Amino acid sequence: MNLSYLIRRLVAVLVVMAIVTVAVFAITNVLPGNAALMILGENATAQNLAALERQLGLDRPLLVQYFDWVSGVVRGDLGMSLRLGLPVAEVVGSAFINSMWLAGLALAAVTVISIPLGALAAIKRGTVYDTGIGVFSYVGTALPEFVTATLLLVLFASPANPIFPAGGFADPMEDFGLFLTHAALPVATLGLVLMAHISRQVRSEMSEVLSSDYVRAARIKGLSERRVIWRHTLPNSMAPAVAVISLDIGYLLGGIIVVEEIFAWPGLGRLLIYALQNRDLPVIQAITLVLAVVYALSNLISDLVIAKLDPRVRYG
C-alpha cells in the first residue's frame, strides 16, 4: 500500500464524483418539471412561472448553472434550498448526522451478526441449522424495506402493545436510551435484508475456503479441527466478507430513504423525499453527492481493510 496508489484512487473517486454530478444535473434538468412549477402549482400563469424562475436562477443556461454549483461545492457552499430558504449545507448537515447514526448502527449490527451466522452455516453445512439460515436469507432478500418496516410496526409498535415507538427521533447526545428505542425498528428493518444477503454470501465464501486445497493440506497435517477453522479458514474468508459488505453499503444507503420516510426519522432519506416532491434542486443535488461520496469512500476504506487482511493483495 503506497501513497501513489492512494492518490490514484482518490483521483478516480473525484472523476467518478464529477460524473455523478453531471448525471444528476442532466436528470433533474432534462426531464420535465422544475421547482418553480412545484412552488406555484400546476395552475400558475406563465408570467409568474417565468418571474419565479428568474428569481431562483433557473432560467440561466444549464452549463452556467452547473459550473456555478460545482464552484460552490468546491468552496463548501452548497447553495440555498429553493423551498426552505435555508443554506443547503446547514439543512443537509444535520440530516446527514442522523442518517449516519442509523446507517452506522445497522452496519454494526449486520457485521456482528451475519458473519458468525454465515460462518456457522458453512461449518455445519447440510444440517437443519444451515437450511434454516438458507430459508431466512431467501425470505429476507425478497422483502422490500417497506414491507418489513410495516410488519415490524404491526408486531412491535401497535397501540395495543407498544414495545417500541412507531417512529420519530430522539437526540442520542441527550438521552441515548431513548434514542435506541426509537432506532430499534428502523435499524432492524435496514439490517434484515442485509443480514439475509451477507450471511448467505459469507456461507458460500467459507464453504469454498473449506473445500480448498490448503484447508485439506492443513487437515492432513493432523491439525485439530479448531485450528483448521480459526487459523486456516476464517482468516481467508474475511476478505471476501468485507468485499460483500462494502457492496451492500450501496443498498443500505438506498434503503435509508424508505426507512426514514416510514419511521419519520429526520435524516437524508426523509429530506430527499421532501426535496423530490418539491423539486428542490440544490438539496437534491447535495444529498445525491453526499450519498455517492459516502459510498465511494466506504469502498476505498474496505479496499484498504481487504489489503490488510489478505497479504496477496498488492496495491501498487
Partner 1 sequence: MDSTPAAERPVLTVDGYSMAYDTDEGRIEALKNVSLSIHRGETHAIVGESGSGKTTLAWAITRYLPDNAHDLGGAILLSSEDMLAKTAAELTDLRGRRLAMVYQDPSSSLNPSMTLGDQVTEVLRRHRAMSPQEARSEAEAALARTGIRNPAAMMTRYPHEASGGEKQRVIIATAFACNPELIIFDEPTTALDILTANQIIELFLELREETGVAALYISHDLGLVSRVADTVSVLYQGEVVEQGDLKTVFAAPAHAYTQRLLAALPRPQDRLAVAAPQTDTPLMSLENIGVCYYTPSLLTRLLEPKTVAQYGARHISFSVRPGELLGVVGESGSGKSTIAKAATGLHPFEGRIVFDGKVYDSARALDRAYRRQVQIVFQHPDGSLNPRETIGRILARPLRLYDLVPRAQIAKRVAELLEMVLLPPEFASRYPHQLSGGQKQRVAIARAFAAEPRLVICDEITASLDVSVQATMARLLVDLQARSGAACIFITHDLNLVRQLAHRIVVMRNGAIVESFAAEDTEQTDRAPYTRELIDAVPVLDRPAISATTEVPHQ
Partner 2 sequence: MGRILSTSNGVAGVILLTIVLTAALFGPWIAPYDPQLFHSQARLQGPSATHWLGTDQFGRDLLSRILNGAPSTVLFGMGATSLGVCAGTVIGVIAGVAGGRTDGVIMRILDGMLAMPELLFTLLIVTFLGGGTLQALLAVGVAFTPGMARIARSAVLSVRTREYVLAARARGESRSWIVLREVLPNAIGPIIVEATIRVSFAIMIGATLGFLGLGAQPPSTEWGLMVSEARQFMFRNPWGVIIPGIAIAMTAMGFNLFGDALRDAFDPKRSL
> Of partner 2, partner 1, none, which one sits near residue 223, judging by CB under 5 to 8 A according to partner kind?
partner 1
Rounded CA gap, 277 and 109, in Å?
32
Select 157 or 307, whichever has its Cβ closest to partner 1: 307
Spell out, one character per residue from 148 to 187, where the chain touches partner 2: x when CB under 8 A holds, - when not: --xx-xx---xxx---------------------------
276 binding partner 2? (CB under 8 A):
yes
Select 76 or 311, whichever has its Cβ closest to partner 1: 311
Q: How far is the CB of 220 from partner 1 (least distance, A)?
A: 5
Cβ burial, residue 266 (10 Å; 0-12/13-18/19+): middle
Alpha helices, DSSP H only, in 1-87? Answer: 3-30, 35-40, 46-56, 62-75
Classify the phi-psi angles of 19: left when phi > 0, otherwise alpha if psi is within -120 to 50, otherwise beta.
Answer: alpha
Torsion from C-alpha of 76, 79, 80, 83, nearest 10 degrees: -120
Rounded CA gap, 182 and 168, in Å?
6
Contacts of 212 (CB under 8 A, 6+ apart): 236
144 binding partner 2? (CB under 8 A):
yes
> Of partner 2, partner 1, none, which one sits near residue 27, judging by CB under 5 to 8 A according to partner kind?
partner 2
List the grid coordinates of 87: 443554506
> Of partner 2, partner 1, none, which one sits near residue 201, judging by CB under 5 to 8 A according to partner kind?
none
Spell out, one character per residue from 5 to 44, where the chain touches partner 2: x when CB under 8 A holds, - when not: -------x--xxxxxx-xxx--xx-xxxx-----------
List the grid coordinates of 9: 484512487
- Closest to 101 (Cα-Cα) out of 162, 193, 173: 173
- Closest to 234 (Cα-Cα) out of 131, 136, 123, 312: 123
Select 88 or 244, whichever has its Cβ closest to partner 1: 244
CB 182 within 8 A of CB 168: yes
> Within positions 55 to 74, which residues make up the interface with partner 2, using CB under 8 A?
none
Select 18 or 308, whichever has its Cβ closest to partner 2: 18
Select 60 or 227, whichever has its Cβ closest to partner 1: 227
Q: How far is the CB of 142 from partner 2 (least distance, A)?
A: 4
Select 208 or 310, whichever has its Cβ closest to partner 2: 208
Task: Determine the 3-state secondary structure of 3 from DSSP.
Answer: helix
Residues that bind partner 1 (CB under 8 A): 3-4, 7-8, 11, 212-214, 216-225, 227, 231-232, 235-236, 309-312
Contacts with partner 2 by CB under 8 A lie at 12, 15-20, 22-24, 27-28, 30-33, 125, 138-139, 141-147, 150-151, 153-154, 158-160, 204, 207-208, 211, 250-255, 257-258, 261, 272-273, 276-277, 279, 284, 288, 291-292, 295-296
